Amino acid sequence: MKITRMHGAGGKVMQNLIGDVILGSLTNTQVNGGIGLQDLDDGSTIPIGDNEIVFTVDGHTVDPIFFKGGDIGRISVCGTVNDLSVMGAKPLALSMSFVLPEGFDIDKLKEIMDSINKACEEAGVAVITGDTKVSNVSDIIISSAGIGIVEKGKAVRDKGMKEGDSIIVTGNLAEHGLTILLSREGFDLESNLKSDVAPVNGLIQSVLNEGITINAMKDPTRGGLADSLNEMAEKSGLGITLQEDQIPLSEEVNFISEALGIDPLTVANEGKVVMAIPKKDAEKALEIIKNHPLGKNAKIVGEVTSEHKGVIMETLVGRRVVDTPIGDPIPRVC
């Protein structure tokens, strides 16, 4: 069997590859009883003393490397910072491993480095180790691993949501993935759409600092909100009921999604968070989030239930299942 694009797209095909080939081959996947690879969370942990070191990695191969709202440098910082942040950790340090094609313009590399630096300053993290290789690649690839820290036992898990929890989404969805798709497919739409790529650690800390418990949390990147919610539902053994009219989507995203025949719930975000929060604290949490510059379009979009499994959305015309996407969304009009 051969690798296809679907194996790297988030969704079920990738999950099967990871489960069968990668996890299936490895004997040692956790340290000191911490969260391990087999938990398939946004990061893993190493308990040391009173703390847990949180560790995560992301490979970045975005095409095009410069796009409205960001570039591969900004994504390589934010993607890793955000994976640490949704574990409830304080991000501390990143590693950056660059693979460059021969002939790559050093001025472009400088531009990417400036973008990395700006994102690191926003997030308050440092790049403390790195590597560069030159190889047969069509464009620059950046793999960024990250280290964060959280008090022992306080890591926020994908699986932690409880019956009755409110589901909060911190802002308008699908902006990153649609921006990339439009520019990759060469659609010359007059559009104000830009990627939402941003570090979310400050937004999350603003909630945690008020003593609010976040029972479960993810950043809905590849596979979009649909993928994240299904993962949270499956891991907790519970279900989620969404209210379609509460899902934050800009008019522009609605218009473009319909024009392209794409479900915006399956499209990647790079600066959003989905949280399960005890109902009694949900309104307070929403208010805190809406006061943060990255959270002004936040909404309570649904509720955790034991009455069904998976994710079901109540719409104007009835209920529909929101399933885990198979792979990347493909415009039906192309």
Q: Which of residues 67-106 bind a copy of itself (CB under 8 A)?
A: 92-93, 95-106
The answer to whether residues 269 and 196 touch, using CB atoms and an 8 Å cutoff, is yes
Which of the stretches 12-20, 186-194, 210-218, 277-285 binds a copy of itself when contact is defined by CB under 8 A?
12-20
273-312 positions binding a copy of itself, by CB under 8 A: none
- Taking the least distance from each CB to a copy of itself, the nearer of 3 and 334 is 3
CB 264 → a copy of itself: shortest distance, Å?
Answer: 23
Helix (H) or strand (E) holding 277: strand 274-277
Binding a copy of itself (rule: CB under 8 A), the pick from 51, 191, 206, 213 is 51
Does 52 bind a copy of itself (CB under 8 A)? Our answer is: no
- Taking the least distance from each CB to a copy of itself, the nearer of 54 and 238 is 54
CB 53 → a copy of itself: shortest distance, Å?
Answer: 6
Q: What is the DSSP string of 214-253?
A: --EEE---TTHHHHHHHHHHHHHT-EEEEEGGGS---HHH
- Taking the least distance from each CB to a copy of itself, the nearer of 115 and 166 is 115
Does 17 bind a copy of itself (CB under 8 A)? Our answer is: yes
Distance CA 309, CA 315 (A): 18
Which of the stretches 24-32, 197-205, 247-255, 277-285 binds a copy of itself when contact is defined by CB under 8 A?
24-32
Cα-Cα end-to-end distance for the chain: 28
Binding a copy of itself (rule: CB under 8 A), the pick from 78, 81, 86, 116 is 116
Binding a copy of itself (rule: CB under 8 A), the pick from 11, 55, 195, 281 is 55
Does 18 bind a copy of itself (CB under 8 A)? Our answer is: yes
Q: Where are the beta strands (DSSP E) in 7-101?
A: 44-48, 51-60, 66-67, 70-71, 90-101
Does 14 bind a copy of itself (CB under 8 A)? Our answer is: yes
Binding a copy of itself (rule: CB under 8 A), the pick from 89, 120, 167, 182 is 120
User: At how many degrees (to 10) do helices 201-208 and 72-85 cross?
Assistant: 20
The answer to whether residues 175 and 194 touch, using CB atoms and an 8 Å cutoff, is yes
Q: With CA atoms as reference, report the closest residue to 41 among 128, 155, 145.
A: 155
Does 110 bind a copy of itself (CB under 8 A)? Our answer is: yes
- Taking the least distance from each CB to a copy of itself, the nearer of 143 and 241 is 143
- Taking the least distance from each CB to a copy of itself, the nearer of 79 and 239 is 79
Q: State the pairing for strand pair 310-315/299-305.
A: unpaired
Which of the stretches 136-144, 172-180, 181-189, 230-238 binds a copy of itself when contact is defined by CB under 8 A?
136-144
Angle at 329 between CA 274 and CA 334, to 5 degrees: 150
- Taking the least distance from each CB to a copy of itself, the nearer of 59 and 278 is 59
Q: With CA atoms as reference, report the closest residue to 227 among 12, 6, 7, 5.
A: 12
Distance CA 200, CA 79 (A): 10
